[in-house]
Amino acid sequence: MTLGAEIFNSENLMPLDPQAQQLLEQLASAGAPPLHTLSPVEARQATSTMFRVPPEKEEPVARIENRTIPGPAGAIPVRVYTPSGSGPFPVLVYIHGGGWVICDLDTHDAACRSLTNRAGCVTVSVDYRLAPEHKFPAAVEDSYAATLWVAEHAAEFNGDPARVAVGGDSAGGNLAAVVALMARDRGKPNLCFQLLVYPATDGSLSTESMRAFKEYFLTPELVRYFWHHYMRSDADRKDPLASPAMAGNFKGLAPALIITAEFDPLRDEGEAYAEKLRAAGVPVTVTRYNGMIHGFFTMADVLDQGKKAVAESAAALKKAFSRS
- For the annotated catalytic residues, the residue numbers are 170, 264, 294
Continuous H helices in the chain: 18-30, 40-47, 109-119, 138-152, 171-186, 208-212, 220-230, 267-279, 304-323
b/e map 195-229, b = 16+ CB within 10 Å? bbbbbbbbbebebebbebbeebbbbbebbebbbeb
Answer for the pair 128, 95: CB distance below 8 angstroms, yes or no. Answer: yes
Q: Which residues pair with 83 in a beta bridge?
A: none
What CA–CA distance (Å, rounded) separates 194 from 176? 7
| R_g of the chain computed on alpha carbons | 18
Max CA separation in the chain (angstroms)? 53
What CA–CA distance (Å, rounded) separates 316 from 298? 17
